[in-house]
Chain A
Amino acid sequence: MNQFRWKQIGFACAFMAALWACGGSGTDTPTPTPTDQASSDRKAMLTNIADNIIVPSYANFKTKFDAMVVKSDAFAAKPDKTTLTDFRQAWVDAYTEWQKVELFDVGPAEQYTLRNFFNIYPTSVTGIEDYIATGSGTFDVPASYPKQGFPALDYLINGLDTTDDAIVARYTTAADAAKRIAYLKRLTTQMNSQFTTVYTAWTTGGYRDTFINCTALNAGCSTGKLVNGFVLNYERYIRSGKFGIPSGAMTNGTVAPDKVEAYYKKDLSLTLAKTAHQASIDFFNGKNVKTGQEGPSLKTYLNGIGAKDSQTGKSLVDIINAQFESSNQKLAVLKANLADEIKSNNAAMVAVYTEMQKVVRMLKVDMTSAMSITITYTDNDGD
């Protein structure tokens, strides 16, 4: 009996020793990148993202947006070609700056669905004209999203007619000029109130502290929501909205040049797309909006947890940044007016979509898997 037990124990020990040996020898073959404790600190990452990226980006946007409201009001008070030109320039500046904040689909921006009130396009011309004619109408239901925001302003200052004189006439001599001016005012008021709600939640409403302290990786906490919002924005609003849908790449080749962003301004769509794309890259790399220096970010976090292609050992961050660069190269050859590109050079548009699709996969599958984040937003690719 005793002997039997000793045999058993001996066998168990030998077995475990063998396993130890197996496991032990493994630890030194592919040397694991030491986890940098500071880089894998999500609170540091969230703090940098809040204080040096999100809040200053919102502040920059606020400056441009407020300036646009001033020009809009000036145009409303005295509609002429000069005030129209000023308003248009301010609109371009604010719309471009918007591209740098649309990706923060987290916290109050997610809660109040900020994007819906700022940048749903193609805009609904008949919807806008109906609202102008009746002089009223809610801005809070989904059907009203294409009747407001930057795309609606685009139509109202660039798309009413072919010449500036004719456009100004719509605000001066036309029968509904007063109503049209009133609608401009309603639009900017609506945008201002939506943005102010979101911005003050970050600055004085205490959301910044909530954001940096919710460090768990479950769906309810900051990192998961931030990454979900970021990937969603890249997939649905950059890849699909700016390229996949208008180019027909996602719609069985049916091109829709009228679905490009800033359709009435014509030559702004590429700038907006490039700005949004660069904002995503800068966000990924943690670029401080004020100083341009990189700080704790998705990049440093992924490096911190040693994320790499476990087959080749290549850094996941390098792979993703290289793919961002490939998309940039395809963007670089496009001309300013994407609606024209679709009509004459659509292969180049589709090529951008194809490269961006590769980024989407890396962000949505490789990056989230490496970070243990679950993608919780649902696809609507076919829409």
Chain B
Amino acid sequence: MRDYFHKTTSAAPLAVFRMLFGLMLFGSIVRFWSNGWIADLYITPHYFFPFYGFEFVKPLGQYTYVLFAICGLSALLIAIGLFYRVATVSLFVSFTYIELMDKSTYLNHYYFTSMVCLLLIFLPAHAYFSVDAYRHRSLLADQIPVWCIDSLKLFVALLYMFAGLAKLNSDWLLHAQPLRIWLPAHNDLPLIGFLFNYPWVPYVFSLFGCLYDLSIPMLLWNSSTRSLAYIAVVVFHGLTAMLFPIGMFPYIMIVTALIFFPASFHQTIIRQLSSWLSISYQFTRPQRLYSYQPIVANLVIGFFAIFFAFQVVFPFRHLLYPGELLWTEQGYRFSWRVMLMEKAGYAQFTVKDQSGHQTIVNNTAFLTPLQEKMMSTQPDMLLQYAHILRDYYTQEGFKNPEVYVDSYVTLNGRLGRPLVSPSVNLADKEDSFKHKEWITSFNDTISGL
């Protein structure tokens, strides 16, 4: 073990990763901005859904643009490796802040990005082929501890493993849900569309999707299977990009998987870049080792140990809750559960008080279509919204308003049912990490992890 932490390797893979990741993130921010989503998601809405424990994280009005600008600039700085430490901290903070502002926009790959930013703060990705190293030659090094790269590989491997484990359930494997619903929607695609009319196709897709997630880390790690595995990565994520509206995620994963390639591959890239930029040989071949100060190394390794222990345990927290995970979503987020559910719902709230006030709530007056869609299927958001309504109608003159919801939710093709009993007054239910006993029981079984 001690030997492992003294092993060194080429710094090229980490440098290439830094550049690609930074550019990718910069591109994502530009895309987000130019689509007008900053205003649509964080400025126009009247209300937001913060994460439990992070209620202080709120959009900043017009300054939200500044937040995104900082985030984009930080990503660009990381790509070129300028002011690396400051940029990684500001990227991590700004990106995570954005992610936490409203849970209706939660995506696993935002969480992934956020966590990679966190790791990058402590990794010497700027030691090689960066502006920082160019300006301060004392920093320049082409060798780094091997665990620096392995930790990124491990994190990617964990993501895939958990995504694969989550697919080991009866809905996914035995009933091909939700792909059975999603694939026929694309039966008009050229060339492959006709395939989606065959009932066995979603089963095959489900099976391969599961096998892919479970095996791809191993196949990427193993040098003899790596090239084929990477082709699989490109095909798999390319296909998901074509079929599902999942934004940048496929591209981020296609780029991230390059970290598994050997140093020689990345050195070729660096060499090519150097010749285009006319960068001297000494700069790319300094023959120096980046080493942490012993005390810093111990602290960073200790922190990484805690980080990975957390990452291994946290996705299993749903085991602490009774009830069906896909139905209650208690412990669902931050666990690499992707594409597992076709869930849709309808929630109509009634607010009333003892003195005879009563009203049916027009959700549109409070929420955006996206927020309403997310709220109607996720219990914690139903509760948050009920509290928004409670507080609003208290101001409107209701005395201790009671909030009830008439909800109707379908999960993976099961006929809709109420998610919350219509007789539960949500106004006096408090949010917490405890089990929400007011969620109706699922009434069906999904076996598996």
Bits for A339-383, please: 1 = Cβ < 8 Å to B, else 0.
000000000000000000000111011101111101010111111
A16 CB-CB contact with B under 8 Å:
yes
Known contacts A379-B363, A380-B362: A217-B185 contact under CB 8 Å = yes
Binds B, one of A118-126, A140-148, A308-316: A308-316
How many angstroms between the C-alpha atoms of A319 and B410 in the bound complex?
A: 14
Q: Is the CB of B203 within 8 A of A372?
A: no
Q: Is the CB of B364 within 8 A of A378?
A: yes
Contacts of B412 in A (CB 8 A): 310
Shortest CB–CB separation between residue B344 and chain A, in angstroms?
4
Contacts of A175 in B (CB 8 A): none
Binds B, one of A17-25, A55-63, A83-91, A271-279: A17-25
Known contacts A311-B414, A365-B344, A371-B185: A23-B358 contact under CB 8 Å = no
How many angstroms between the C-alpha atoms of A35 and B202 in the bound complex?
A: 11
Q: Is the CB of B188 within 8 A of A23?
A: no
Binds A, one of B137-145, B174-182, B378-386: B174-182
Known contacts A37-B194, A361-B416, A372-B181: A381-B199 contact under CB 8 Å = no
Binds A, one of B36-44, B210-218, B307-315: B210-218
Binds B, one of A26-34, A184-192, A202-210: A26-34
Known contacts A42-B188, A365-B410: A23-B215 contact under CB 8 Å = no
How many angstroms between the C-alpha atoms of A205 and B210 in the bound complex?
A: 49
A306 CB-CB contact with B under 8 Å:
yes
B444 CB-CB contact with A under 8 Å:
yes
Known contacts A32-B199, A216-B188, A365-B416: A19-B360 contact under CB 8 Å = no
A328 CB-CB contact with B under 8 Å:
no
B181-226 contacts to A, CB under 8 A, are 181-182, 184-188, 194, 197-200, 203, 206-207, 210-211, 214-215, 218, 222
B365 CB-CB contact with A under 8 Å:
yes
B250 CB-CB contact with A under 8 Å:
no
Contacts of B410 in A (CB 8 A): 365-366, 369
Q: Is the CB of B415 within 8 A of A16?
A: no
Q: Is the CB of B173 within 8 A of A319?
A: no
Contact of A35 among B185, B197, B346, B361 (CB under 8 A): B197
B359 CB-CB contact with A under 8 Å:
yes
Contacts of A281 in B (CB 8 A): none
How many angstroms between the C-alpha atoms of A16 and B215 in the bound complex?
A: 9
Q: Is the CB of B184 within 8 A of A312?
A: no
A252 CB-CB contact with B under 8 Å:
yes
Shortest CB–CB separation between residue A13 and chain B, in angstroms?
11
B170 CB-CB contact with A under 8 Å:
yes
B287 CB-CB contact with A under 8 Å:
no
A250 CB-CB contact with B under 8 Å:
yes
Which residue among A8, A310, A362 has the maximum number of chain B CB atoms within 10 Å of its CB?
A310
Bits for A1-15, please: 1 = Cβ < 8 Å to B, else 0.
000000010001001
Contacts of A379 in B (CB 8 A): 362-364, 372
Contacts of A361 in B (CB 8 A): 346, 408, 416
Contacts of A40 in B (CB 8 A): 184, 187, 197
B348 CB-CB contact with A under 8 Å:
yes
Which residue among B214, B412, B415, B443 has the maximum number of chain A CB atoms within 10 Å of its CB?
B415
A331 CB-CB contact with B under 8 Å:
no
How many angstroms between the C-alpha atoms of A203 and B210 in the bound complex?
A: 49
A242 CB-CB contact with B under 8 Å:
no
B238 CB-CB contact with A under 8 Å:
no
A326 CB-CB contact with B under 8 Å:
no
Q: Is the CB of A252 within 8 A of B360?
A: yes
Shortest CB–CB separation between residue B177 and chain A, in angstroms?
7
Contacts of A32 in B (CB 8 A): 176, 180, 199-200
Shortest CB–CB separation between residue B352 and chain A, in angstroms?
8
B188 to A, closest residue via Cβ: A215
Q: Is the CB of A372 within 8 A of B199?
A: no
Q: Is the CB of B342 within 8 A of A26?
A: no
Q: Is the CB of A382 within 8 A of B359?
A: yes
A305 CB-CB contact with B under 8 Å:
yes
Shortest CB–CB separation between residue A19 and chain B, in angstroms?
6
How many angstroms between the C-alpha atoms of A362 and B408 in the bound complex?
A: 9
A106 CB-CB contact with B under 8 Å:
no
Shortest CB–CB separation between residue A352 and chain B, in angstroms?
17
How many angstroms between the C-alpha atoms of A26 and B447 in the bound complex?
A: 12
Q: Is the CB of A23 within 8 A of B203?
A: yes
Q: Is the CB of A35 within 8 A of B198?
A: yes
B50 CB-CB contact with A under 8 Å:
no
Q: Is the CB of B200 within 8 A of A27?
A: yes
Q: Is the CB of A365 within 8 A of B409?
A: yes
Q: Is the CB of B416 within 8 A of A35?
A: no
Q: Is the CB of A365 within 8 A of B364?
A: no
How many angstroms between the C-alpha atoms of A43 and B214 in the bound complex?
A: 38
How many angstroms between the C-alpha atoms of A27 and B198 in the bound complex?
A: 13
Shortest CB–CB separation between residue A224 and chain B, in angstroms?
10
Q: Is the CB of A306 within 8 A of B365?
A: no
Shortest CB–CB separation between residue B339 and chain A, in angstroms?
13
A33-70 contacts to B, CB under 8 A, are 33-35, 37, 40-43
Bits for B396-416, please: 1 = Cβ < 8 Å to A, else 0.
000000000000111011111
A23 to B, closest residue via Cβ: B207
Q: Is the CB of B197 within 8 A of A37?
A: yes
Q: Is the CB of A369 within 8 A of B207?
A: no
Contacts of B369 in A (CB 8 A): 376, 378
Q: Is the CB of A381 within 8 A of B177?
A: no
B364 to A, closest residue via Cβ: A378
How many angstroms between the C-alpha atoms of A378 and B370 in the bound complex?
A: 10
Question: Can you list 5 contacts pairing A with B, beta carbon distance less than 8 Å?
Answer: A27-B200, A43-B188, A252-B360, A376-B369, A381-B361
Instruction: Name 10 extra pairs, CB < 8 A, besides A40-B187, A251-B360, A306-B199.
Output: A16-B215, A19-B211, A30-B174, A306-B180, A307-B413, A364-B346, A374-B373, A378-B369, A381-B360, A382-B360
Binding site for A on B (CB under 8 A): 170, 173-177, 180-182, 184-188, 194, 197-200, 203, 206-207, 210-211, 214-215, 218, 222, 342-346, 348, 358-365, 369, 372-373, 408-410, 412-416, 443-444
Report the 6 A-B pairs with minimum CB-CB distance, sorted nearest first: A382-B362, A26-B174, A372-B185, A310-B413, A369-B344, A309-B415
Binding site for B on A (CB under 8 A): 8, 12, 15-16, 19-20, 22-23, 26-27, 29-30, 32-35, 37, 40-43, 215-217, 250-252, 305-312, 314, 316, 319, 360-362, 364-366, 368-372, 374, 376, 378-383
